[in-house]
Amino acid sequence: MSSEVRHRVDRDRGYPLVRITGVLDDDTAAPIRTALLAVLATQPEALVVDVADLRVSRAAAVAVLREIREETRDWPGSHLMLCDPAGASAWHDTGWPVWPDPAGAIAALGPPTADHRAGLDLDPVAGAARAAREMVTEACGRWERPGLAGNACIVATELVNNVVAHAGTPMRVLLALHGATMSVAVRDGSPVLPRFTGPVPVTSYGGRGLLLIDAVSARWGHLALTDGKVVWARLEGA
């Protein structure tokens, strides 16, 4: 008989709280990964996961949480927290900090930073990149980070144009401020991941979008989802 796992997302606590119940084994590791990455793809400031009612039937299956942590290590701004009143022994190898309960984890995180996230839904049409640049410029002004606006607009333009030219799906542009740094991300509905092979010949037509992103960002990457992907870049202030 196959195992079952369920999850419920509570977004009324300042940070998304995911309660996972059931059995963690080889069969349920993938659904857990999908559920957590779906929440992380919205670029929350932190993610709290309550595993008090999740039974581990195979110790090796907890590797899925370690893999999520590694995969999202550079995903901008998301602090990961586990909650289990039984303690950290079962989750030690995941690398996640463990708290006895969600209230304690949320208290340790402190209040969410006000007005340091922005998002814009766009269709894959001409003019989408211009709308993204307008949002970036406005946000940089509001956040008093004018020095980041130029490079952030370059990244937003290239990411959006890639969706228009290749994915052809609706997209969501995400901005977040993290102290002196800013992240720019675009989520689309295509599973095709970006491939960066370095400089392209001067005679080549196209292929310079990722080169520009690599040149102006401190680091960049992607998050693969079951219904598409997120491509992101982290920019450092001058």
One fold for 5-109 and 117-236: no
Residues 6+ apart with CB under 8 A from 165: none
Residue 20, beta-bridge partner list: 7
What was the pLDDT predicted at 200? 45
Question: What kind of fold does domain 117-236 have according to CATH?
Answer: Heat Shock Protein 90 (3.30.565)
- Where do the domains of the chain lie? 5-109, 117-236
Query: Is the predicted pLDDT of residue 157 greater than 70, yes or no?
Result: yes
What global pTM score does this model have?
A: 0.87
- Cα distance between residue 214 and residue 233, in whole Å: 8
Question: What kind of fold does domain 5-109 have according to CATH?
Answer: Transcription Regulator spoIIAA (3.30.750)
- Cα distance between residue 193 and residue 222, in whole Å: 7
Q: For 65-122, what is each residue's pLDDT tens digit? A: 999 999 888 887 789 999 999 987 889 889 999 999 999 999 999 998 878 999 999 9
